[in-house]
Amino acid sequence: MLLLQRTLCVSVTIAASLVLVLAAGCGSSGQVELTAADDGRQIEIAKGQTLVVSLESNPSTGYSWERAPVEDMILQQAGEPEFRQGGRPGLVGAPGQQILRFQAAATGTTKLDLVYHRPWEQDAKPEGTFSVTVVVR
């Protein structure tokens, strides 16, 4: 009986510790990551969190992802877009992932629309689009 109580106590302690570690990990990340699979979704994030969008790109073709013009202050772009090349390092012209970051600056609901285009081709149809509805609490 004593062995059973000790085992149960250890199990409860381990489970409680695991819950605390997982909860701390969720709150401390401060960012929500999205990929092309999230296109068309509605997501919810907290004010102050960072939304990180990672989409396939090949800047050697002149194309890049940009936010469609919008006049709201709910999501603000944080820093410059980043490109992580796929495949072998140093392989010129290889595609990879373009990463854009947005800070949830105010509460509310907004649409995050991204277009994959050549910025100098103002009247051309984009090669790709990505859109999510973002609810900031």
Q: What is the pLDDT along the chain (137 residues), one digit of tens a residue?
A: 444 444 444 343 343 333 333 333 344 468 999 999 999 999 999 999 999 999 999 988 999 999 998 878 999 999 999 998 876 666 677 889 999 999 999 999 999 999 999 999 988 999 999 999 999 99
Residue 20 within any structural domain of the chain: no
Residue 119 within any structural domain of the chain: yes
Is 116 in contact with 126 (CB distance < 8 Å)? yes
3-state secondary structure of 41: coil
Residue 19 within any structural domain of the chain: no
- Rounded to two decimals, the pTM is 0.73
> Would you call 3 exposed, middle or buried from its count of C-beta atoms within 10 A (0-12, 13-18, 19+)?
exposed
The per-residue pLDDT for 88 is 67
Residue 101 within any structural domain of the chain: yes
Q: Report the CATH number that the domain containing residue 56 is assigned in CATH.
A: 2.60.40.2020
Domain count, the chain: 1
Residue 117 within any structural domain of the chain: yes
Strand-pairing partners, residue 31, are: 50
Q: What range does the domain containing 35 cover?
A: 31-136
